[in-house]
A and B are shown apart, each in its own frame.
Chain A
Amino acid sequence: MMNGVTQVQDSPPRPAPLVETAPLLEMRGISQIFPGVKALDQVDIKLYPGQVTALIGENGAGKSTLVKILTGIYRPNEGEILVDGQPVVFSAAQAAIDAGVTAIHQETVLFDDLTVAENIFIGHAPRTRFGMIDWSAINKRSRDLLRALESDIDPTIRLRDLSIAQRHLVAIARALSVEARIVIMDEPTAALSRKEIDDLFRIIEGLKRQGKAILFISHKFDEVYEIAENFVVFRDGRAVGHGKLRDTSQHEIVRLMVGRDVKDVFPKTKVEIGAPVLQVQGFSHPTEFHNISFELRRGEILGIYGLIGAGRSELCQALFGVTRPSGGTLTLEGRPLQISSSGDAIRAGIVYVPEERGRHGLALPMPIFQNMSLPSLSRTSRGGFLKAANELALSRRYAERLDLRAAALSVPVGTLSGGNQQKVVIGKWLATQPKVIILDEPTKGIDIGSKAAVHGFISELASEGLSIIMVSSELPEILGMSDRVMVMREGLIAGMFGREQATAETLVRAATGNA
């Protein structure tokens, strides 16, 4: 038995209480079964007032399923939930809110056509004396909530005009707008950059002081160690260990969650950089970026770093032909290239793994293999007729390389866990065998073991001659994988660094503009 870790065996004795204080929330023997998967198997978990408990586990381990049970979205097949020692039944989302549970979900569902304030207060809007919705109160409280997150988003604008990170802040504000004693955060930091994460952590510290119990889910260990006291590790739907983070090393936790050591998360191999493949000259957009020029060589990984709102995703989408630039030229392998739609880009061999997998990457109700094969249909089909066997074979190849966890290749992609959905998007685009791949936050929501697998695959493809543009807000990923790093700030190139010059310090300095 490891130091400080209570290892739970197959038929666990009740784990001894970790702390003297009584838990605010307790789950006992919770199981949740889906067709083909036992998402949770006899799980026990306790949350204590004034403490953050980190829930850690591989993609598909059952973390989000637990969150959905705690918020009344799923009714577990067995087990009980106790709040303040009293059994409760969350028969619907409202029951969970009434019991004092609020959550930021991993895949946030917000309404594009409502205002920011309406999104924050939909379902629990404050009313005036006459029972009418109190608009001024809503707008004011929304502004206060967002201010606390150091954000000056105007509560009266419509959601569709916000960036992903801003939308995520709205989701956080929504969760915090409910008077709750138990706050659950399912990968709240996945879409945020360091600055917003710091703001969020300040808020979490405040919640702790108010005696709230917090469940925090993240794949990033530095964050977990920074904010949480306790941890619980899930593997394949079972709680395989818990304890105090202070007594447990990251190494031990990784072993618990993956069942083996993860040696190298950034297995970048030295690659012979070849001739220029893609040359971008004076690329401009009316509002998002201006006069961007760079070249990308064969086998090269070009990292693009910058703060949220620096115009990185917008640049990528313009290169891929989904938005139209206002000026600039592209040259692919020495020939001028005219791209007016994503179809043109794909035919030319330039593909894009989008940042928002649910919105831009996947048709969630359709089977995994049909999503995977979509941009490769011209190869898997014969004369315009589908060949399911080819599609399945192609999907299987990439699913195995990326360590996908799914009940079958024909289940709807929407039933996969968040990280596994992300693997499908990556596989879908790698399967097109492109010349240039643009990755926009490629490992968002992916666990540490799979991250190593994805990075290993990318390195291998680079050594075979694929050219890669990788946008990421994660400094270790940028530093670990890039041959060169381009830093963007407010739509302009703020610096270009070789692998040797690029350090956390130089990149952040260029990105923020603080000399």
Chain B
Amino acid sequence: MNEAVSTKRVIPDRLGNRTSRLLASWEVLLFGVAVLIFIFNALASPYFLNAWNLSDATFNFTEKAMIAFAMAMLVISGEIDLSVAAIIALASTAMGAAAQIGIGTPGLVAIGLGVGLGCGAVNGLLVSGLRLPSIVVTIGTMSLFRGISYIVLGDQAYGKYPESFAFFGQGYVAWVLSFEFVLFGVLAVLFAILLHATNFGRQVFVIGNNEFAARFSGIPVERVKFILFLLTGLMSGVAAVCLTSRLGSTRPSIAQGWELEVVTMVVLGGVSILGGAGTIGGVVIAAFVMGLVTFGLGLLNVPGIVMSIFVGLLLIITIAVPIIVRRIREMR
């Protein structure tokens, strides 16, 4: 019989080359979609290709995207926070009330961020402390937080914000670069680093893929989840500061329905709604896609209700498409 020579087997680090892997990714596909919508908008409206119009368009997504970064991490870990828009309402109401009694801009910002953190802590304690399912907890706190706003404000609104407070939502850092857009960019980089380049980010992925294995590997699962809820609350507070500053007033219905748009952005960005997979880069591109689409529809004078139908459809399609693709591949 032939003597089999057992050659030493070498295992390469990676399969295939980097470019082919990149080209097959969801992010690249989504980027293509963004470019198409951009071209479509440019053809559809003569006003679109104007630096100031484009700059205005970014306000459609910057605030939501800030929350979406934190939400992406939460969803990757297997949890979700549906109370983010209600946190904005509560934080904005608190800032409004404080502004009425003459508290200055730094104080208002601190209050906005503080309320966000506090709300995040409440969610985090309920989910990781009491081990309740986050979807139920945050539907509850969603009603709770916004309910408090309604009780405080009724059909009133807070106005009278100090002049310097307007900078966060209306100020420009340089030329057409708004403060919000720059903040969006900085936060995107920070979250990308946190999720993809740190041990903490790795732990988030492991928890989302197999919580048992995470626990058996010594990951403090509860603590990681608590931190993620805190982060999401904090980012909702940041969004509340920006939005309140941009609108210059607070009504209890502020940011109504944003939780769905934020979740849509996260899922459109390629984050698995089942947890365990996703990138911040994908969420950034998804933010641009959603901003471009809403802005384009606005240019075409499409009414708001159509836009919300559009967001709903987008959410269903982006959840369904990967699942259908997988089924087809399996049937092959």
Which residue of A364, A375, A384 contacts B198 across the interface (Cβ within 8 Å)? Answer: A384
Given contacts A259-B4, A260-B6, contact A352 B202 (CB under 8 A): no
> Of residues B4, B217, B276, B331, which shows the largest number of chain A Cβ atoms within 10 Å of its Cβ?
B217
B247 within 8 A of A: no
A residues within 8 A CB of B14? 408-410
- Contacts of A390-428 to chain B: CB distance below 8 A: 392, 396, 399-400, 403-411, 428
Determine whether A493 belongs to the interface, using a CB cutoff of 8 Å to chain B: no
CB–CB A377/B215 < 8 A: no
Q: Report the separation of the CA atoms of residues A123 and B1 in the bound assembly, to the nearest whole angstrom.
A: 48
Contact check, A366 vs B218: say whether CB atoms are below 8 A apart. Answer: no
Interface string of B308-332 (1 = CB under 8 A from A): 0000000000000000000000011
Q: Is the CB of A386 within 8 A of B216?
A: no
Contact of A366 with B205 at beta-carbon distance under 8 Å, contacts A345-B218, A359-B213, A360-B216 already known: yes
Given known A345-B218, A359-B213, A360-B212, contact A411–B202 (CB-CB < 8 A): no
Least distance between B271 CB and chain A CB atoms (Å)? 14
A39 to B4, CA, bound (A): 19
Q: How many B residues touch A, CB cutoff 8 Å?
A: 35
Question: Residue of B at shortest CB range from A354?
Answer: B216
Asked if A35 lies at the interface with its beta carbon under 8 angstroms from chain B, I say yes
Chain B contacts for A359, CB-based, 8 A:
210, 212-213
Cβ-based interface call for B206 (8 A): yes
Q: Does A343 contact B (CB under 8 A)?
A: yes
The interface residues of chain B, by DSSP majority, are classed as loop
Map CB proximity to B onto A333-355 as digits: 1 under 8 Å, 0 otherwise.
00000000111011100001010
- Whether B153 sits at the interface, judged by CB under 8 Å, is no
> Chain B residue with minimal CB distance to A343?
B218
Residues of A within 8 A of B332 (CB): 75
Inter-chain contact B209/A363, CB cutoff 8 Å = yes
> Within 8 Å CB of A370, what residues of B?
202, 205-206
A100 to B219, CA, bound (A): 45
In this assembly, does B220 line the interface, its C-beta being within 8 Å of a C-beta of chain A? yes
Choose among A75, A345, A364, A409 the residue that contacts B12 (Cβ–Cβ < 8 A): A409
Q: Which of B1-43 contact A (CB under 8 A)?
A: 1-2, 4-6, 9, 11-16
Chain B nearest CB from A317 CB (Å) reads: 9
Is A1 close to B, CB under 8 A? yes
A-B contact pairs, 24 of them (CB 8 A): A91-B331, A92-B331, A258-B6, A259-B5, A260-B6, A341-B220, A342-B216, A343-B218, A347-B218, A360-B213, A360-B216, A361-B216, A364-B209, A364-B210, A370-B202, A374-B217, A377-B199, A384-B199, A386-B201, A392-B13, A400-B11, A404-B11, A407-B15, A408-B13
- CA of A374 to CA of B1, assembled, Å: 44
The answer, among A364, A374, A406, for a CB contact under 8 Å with B11, is A406
Q: Does B174 contact A (CB under 8 A)?
A: no
Given contacts A259-B6, A352-B216, contact A409 B11 (CB under 8 A): yes
Q: How far is the CA of A258 from the CA of B11 in the complex (A)?
A: 18
Q: Check if A7 is an interface residue, CB within 8 A of chain B.
A: yes
Please indicate the chain A residues that have their CB under 8 angstroms from the CB of B305 in the complex.
none
Whole-angstrom CA separation of A250 from B218 in the bound complex = 42
The interface residues of chain A lying within 8 Å CB-to-CB of B11 are 396, 399-400, 404, 406-409
**Top 7 closest A-B pairs, CB basis?**
A259-B4, A363-B209, A343-B218, A346-B218, A408-B15, A363-B210, A410-B14
B13 engages A362 (CB within 8 Å): no
Contact of B15 among A322, A345, A410 (CB under 8 A): A410
Q: Are A343 and B12 in contact (CB under 8 A)?
A: no
Interface residues of B in 179-212 (CB under 8 A from A): 197-202, 205-206, 209-210, 212
Judge whether B277 is part of the interface by a CB distance below 8 angstroms: yes
B1 engages A342 (CB within 8 Å): no
B200 near A365 with CB under 8 A, answer no
Question: Across the two chains, which residue of chain B brings its CB closest to A428?
Answer: B217
Q: A363-B210, A375-B218 are in contact. List 15 more A-B contacts (CB 8 A).
A: A7-B1, A259-B5, A359-B212, A360-B213, A361-B216, A364-B209, A369-B13, A370-B202, A370-B206, A375-B217, A384-B198, A396-B11, A408-B11, A408-B13, A410-B13
Residue in B4, B197, B216, B331 whose beta carbon sits within 8 Å of that of A260 in the complex:
B4
Interface size on A, residues (CB 8 A): 55
Of the residues B5, B202, B217, contact of A386 by C-beta under 8 Å: B202
User: Does B103 have its Cβ within 8 Å of any Cβ on chain A?
Assistant: no
Contact in complex: B220, A409 (CB < 8 Å): no
A 301-347 contacts with B by CB, 8 A: 320, 322, 341-343, 345-347
Q: Which residues from B are CB-within-8-Å of A92?
A: 331
Report A-chain residues with C-beta under 8 Å of the C-beta of B152.
none
Once the chains are docked, how many angstroms separate the CA of A492 from the CA of B277? 44
Residues of B contacting A404 with CB < 8 Å? Answer: 11
Known contacts A370-B202, A386-B202, A408-B14, A362 near B210 by CB under 8 Å: yes
Mask: chain B, 204-248; 1 = CB below 8 Å from A; 0 = not: 011001101111111110000000000000000000000000000
- Smallest CB gap from B276: residue in A: A365
Annotate A24-43 by CB proximity to B: 1 below 8 A, 0 otherwise: 00000000000110000000
Q: Which residues of B contact A360 (CB under 8 A)?
A: 212-213, 216
Closest A residue to B223 using CB positions:
A343
Partner among A35, A36, A343, A400 whose Cβ is within 8 Å of the Cβ of B220: A343
- Chain A residues whose C-beta falls within 8 Å of the C-beta of B6 in the assembled complex: 258-260
Check A374–B202 contact: CB distance below 8 A: yes
* Least distance between A319 CB and chain B CB atoms (Å): 13
Q: Roughly how many angstroms separate A345 CA and B200 CA in the complex, as a whole number?
A: 20
Interface centre among B213, B276, B277 (most CB of A within 10 A): B213
Closest to B8 in A: A400
> What's the Cα separation between A235 and B202 when bound, in Å?
36
- Residue A130 at the B interface, CB < 8 A? no
Complex contacts, B201 vs chain A, CB 8 Å: 386
8 A Cβ contacts from A169-207 to B:
none
B206 surroundings in chain A (CB, below 8 A): 363, 366, 370, 374
